[in-house]
Structures are given as structure tokens and as C-alpha cells.
Structure 1
């Protein structure tokens, strides 16, 4: 299991892009294999990763994830290929449907036929990225381009889906390189996510899919206090149906229950459970509240990452 760092907390705080780039550069220097950012509000995730790419040289850079509703797939393909050029072919494009409340309340876009929406979205996006040409007419998304152009040497980025429901897992396994998860625990991955994803990939004749798992991580002497803080900051996820179902599968009341919080041995054991469950990539959201937790959490994650190479 590869170990990476989820830098989305910086994005959530609206940090300057330069701070995100500095954070990612240190992540690379510390020996981690991947760096992930979510598309929230500002900064834009792909633009931020383009800047990160100028400060790094080897680490894989992933969006986790970009909501598809507000961007035509041809426009997303153009932006992704541009970012891919800047980061020297290190981009992983993670996309997803997001959630009905945020799409309908914030964007004022009807959240209708989500699985069909994503299926058609991929029918435009994937050939645009891989072939630089598209000829598809759907009920929701369409595209017609003979040649998108672009500089030579730019490879199609890997595409992955945020997928937790059966239909999205089928799409993720059969048409993309895997799934990117948030707040899914190891039992859920082993018993539900991995079998569904692998069955879809096998049926489509695709290679073994990646499973990226991300939960809050904190090495601390005060686990109760940290779990209370996680509940305060992330408690809203309990009310979103897709996350509620995933946490119910895990037997978890809320995000604090699937987080890895405790001393070094406890957190290491939690990471081991994710690896045994079939997680290929772990994206640690370092949920730290003081300097001691910052140091201990990063030290433990570096040690595990070094052992996984």
C-alpha cells in the first residue's frame, strides 16, 4: 500500500496556492508517493496542482475529487491536459458526482440521473484525453471534436472515480483506473468496495483497479479530544446519504470512528488494516492540533511509507 498525503485541509482553509505548493514539496521531500487535493471553492484544484508541479519533480499529483456537473467534459479534458503538460505527466484526474445538497443548493443544477450523467460524461472525457478526438451524442453530455491538439509528449492522465454505490463502482471498475474513497473504513473496503470494483474490472478485461482510501490521521496522547474535534469539523458527513451508508457498513457513528487516532502503535495497526483490506493507496489527512501531533503524525507516516516502498 502506497502512502500519500491529502492536502485538502489547506484548500478548505483557502490557503494561498504558494502554501499548497510548499506543503507538497515537503511531502515529496519526506518520501511520500502521492499528493492529493480536493476541488472545494478557491483555489481551483487543477490550477493549484499545476503550481505544485513546478515545485516538485517525482510525486504523483491527484485531484480528489473534481465535481463533474459544472464543467463540460471537453473543458475539463483541456484543463487536465494542460496541467498534465506542466506537471510532466504526473497528474491523476479524480472526478465525482459530489452530493445532491451541494450541487442543487450551491450550483442550482438539478441532481438528476447521476449514474447516467457520469456514464455519458466518461464517454466524452475519456476519448478526449486518450485519443484527442470525440464523437459522442448522449442525452445529457455530447461532444464532437476531430482533433484537440496539444503539445507532443503529453500523456493521458489516469482517471479515477469517487465511487461508493453499486452503479458508480461498476463504472469505476469497468471504465476507469479505480476509485477514490473518503471516510470508508477497512471492513467496508474488504467486504464491499474491493469485490464490486474488481468484478467490474474483470468483466471489462481491465487491469487491477486502484483503491485510494483517505481518512483523518493523528498520532496523539489525547485521542478523545482529537476525536471530538474531528466530529466538530467533519460531523456534517453523517447526514449525507452516501457517506451515511458507508459508515453504517463499517458500524461507525461518524467520521471520528473511522479515523486513525491514537499512539504510534494504534495508528500503525490501523494502516495495516487498510492494507490487508486491499487498499492500494492511502491518502492521509493529517488532522493535527498541536506541534507534538504534527511531528509524531508525520514521523509515523514517513516510517510506514518508507517500509511500503
Structure 2
């Protein structure tokens, strides 16, 4: 496989931050190129990633993604620079516009102008990276400025964006160093890459200047039907219950009736009906689920989409530790 292989780690799967580091060591031993970890309403992302960076030698460390509402722009810059130092230059900072639920119900902030806020946060962060000062005048942030005590950075981390829609993805191409989309069919990803390329051109960049690393939810097991059942339930939940954005995106990729049926089932909190409403056709488009050989073939084919630099393999709900080990070993054969 020409593309790199990343492993998406969910903090909620572990009892201690140290366990995340142990998974990172396992990923490095298996040949993964990078781990990436998201932050929502669980642990602060910095301690487990610092431990993971300290216990590995070559493995890349990423965040997918940090909210622009949960920390000030200057604190986000401090966070990114701290993790870059802990990882000896192997870190990539990931940010996305977030969602109303996390922004309003967890952080207590108004979910207002998320794309503009994300853009300004990135611009403030780059100002800290390049000038050692967050001084900035924007539409959302007005920061008088104060010197970062370590001064400008000689090796600031790249900034990746996790986005779905055309305008947000254009922003990723224009202001980011990479793109980490999720829940895209192969055709849907190809279409959205056009938006990314348009944004890159606005910044006098080429698509090849960006690290494109789509996230796919994955399970490999010898019991094919059990693997597919777990994947079906997980993907259906993401489409129908996990906020509006994934469902809207997949609907726009050509599956509006299926998304509508899944959402109707969620209105009744009928998770069995949600899973039943997800046909094999769409499951196979969105998630590699089946035997180890089937999963390897799916990921290899997806990685060959023009413009893809890495595939980020995540797990589905309900997986045992044996399922996770089987899945990691199956896809690591491609590394």
C-alpha cells in the first residue's frame, strides 16, 4: 500500500491514560505510521498523548480533532507546541468546527460562526508559532498580544482540519496542512477532494502539499457476520443519532432515503431498526467490515483514491480486545 496507515484511538476505551500509551507502543510495533486521538467530553487529550509520545520512537502523534471552543486560541497554540516538543517533532495538530452539542452542552459556549471561528483560531495559532505572540484583530478575536515565553517556533506542528461540507473543506485546503474527513464513500470523497483542491489553490498550494487522511470505521474478524453486525449498528448510530452532520453528509452523497429511515428509527430510540435500515450496499461503501482479507482489500482500494495520503483506521462499537487485535493485525499487513 502506497498510502500511510494511521490508527484512530478512542480515549473512552481505556481505563487509564497509560493504557493509551500501551496501545501506541503496540501500533508502532505492528508498523502503523501514526496514531490519532479525538477529544470530546472525556479525558483532556494532552496527558495520554504525552505518554504515547514518550513511549514511542518513530510513531506520529495526532489529534482528531480539538474543538475551537474548548480552549482559547493562545492555549491551543500552547497545547500544540507542548505536544510537538513531547513528540520530538512527530505531532500534527487536528482541529474542526465541532458541533452544537459539544459546544453548547459541554463547553457552555454559543455555537456561532463555527467556520469563521476555526479560521481565526488557526490564524492566531500560526501567529504564535511564527512570531511568538498571539496579537490579532479579527471578527471574533481581538487579542492585544503578549509574548510567548519560548518565542517563535523553529518547528511548529502542521495543522490538519476535520471537515465534511464543501465550504468547510475548501477552508481546510486554504488554511490547513492536512485534511481528515470521515464517513465518505469513495465517490463522495473524490467529489469533496475537488473542494479541498480549490481551497489549496486559493492559498497558492497544490493538493499534494496537504496530507489527506480519511477516517474509516473498521472491524475484521473470522466471524464475518458478527463483524458486519457490529459495524452496521455503529455506522447506523453515527448516521442517525450522532448529531446532524454525518447523516447530512451521507444523504448528500446519494443516500437521503436511507438516512431519513435511520433517523426515524432513532426518534423511537429503536437501535435495532436503525441497523436494519442500513443496507449492505451503503455499509460496504462506508466501512470495511468482514474477514481480515476483505478488510485489507477494502482499505487497499480506498487508499488508491487519487489524493489520499493515509487511511486512518478506527474501531466500531462493541468490539472486544480480540476484535481490535485481529483488526490491527489484519490492516498492519498493508503497512
Does TM-score exceed 0.5, indicating one fold?
A: yes
Q: Equivalent residues in 2 for 1:1-309 (5 A)? A: 1-8=3-10, 11-145=11-145, 147-150=147-150, 155-190=155-190, 192-207=191-206, 208=208, 209-233=210-234, 235-239=236-240, 240-248=243-251, 249=253, 251=255, 253=259, 256-257=283-284, 258-277=286-305, 278-287=307-316, 289-290=319-320, 293-305=323-335
SS across alignment from 2:308: coil
CA contact (8 A) 1:96 1:162 kept: yes
SS across alignment from 1:97: coil
SS across alignment from 1:67: coil
Residues 15-41 of structure 1: CA deviation (Å, up to 9, x unaligned):
311100011011111111111100123
Deviation at 1:157, TM superposition (A): 0.5
Deviation at 1:127, TM superposition (A): 1.6
Distance change in 2, residues 1:217/1:108 (3 Å)? same
CA contact (8 A) 1:89 1:154 kept: no
Per the normalisation by structure 2, the TM-score is 0.82
Distance change in 2, residues 1:264/1:74 (3 Å)? same
CA contact (8 A) 2:227 2:290 kept: no
SS across alignment from 2:150: coil
Unaligned runs of 5+ in 1: none
**Structure 1 counterpart of 2:264:** none
Deviation at 1:146, TM superposition (A): 5.2
Deviation at 1:269, TM superposition (A): 2.3
CA contact (8 A) 1:81 1:154 kept: no
Distance change in 2, residues 1:39/1:291 (3 Å)? closer
Residues 174-218 of structure 1: CA deviation (Å, up to 9, x unaligned):
11112112222322111x221111121123112422211112212
Residues 204-243 of structure 1: CA deviation (Å, up to 9, x unaligned):
1124222111122122233333333234445442133221
Residues 38-95 of structure 1: CA deviation (Å, up to 9, x unaligned):
0123321122211111101111100001111121110111121112111111110001
Deviation at 1:163, TM superposition (A): 1.2
| Higher share in strand | 1
SS across alignment from 1:304: coil
CA contact (8 A) 1:47 1:83 kept: no
Unaligned runs of 5+ in 2: 260-277
Residues 152-185 of structure 1: CA deviation (Å, up to 9, x unaligned):
9762001011111122112110111121122223
CA contact (8 A) 2:170 2:196 kept: yes
Q: Distance in 2 between matches of 1:116 and 1:132?
A: 23
Q: Distance in 2 between matches of 1:195 and 1:243?
A: 19
Q: Distance in 2 between matches of 1:294 and 1:123?
A: 38
Distance change in 2, residues 1:167/1:94 (3 Å)? same
Distance change in 2, residues 1:153/1:111 (3 Å)? closer
Q: Distance in 2 between matches of 1:25 and 1:245?
A: 36
Q: Distance in 2 between matches of 1:53 and 1:143?
A: 32
SS across alignment from 1:283: strand
Q: Distance in 1 between matches of 2:167 and 2:43?
A: 31
Q: Distance in 1 between matches of 2:234 and 2:71?
A: 28
Distance change in 2, residues 1:186/1:250 (3 Å)? farther
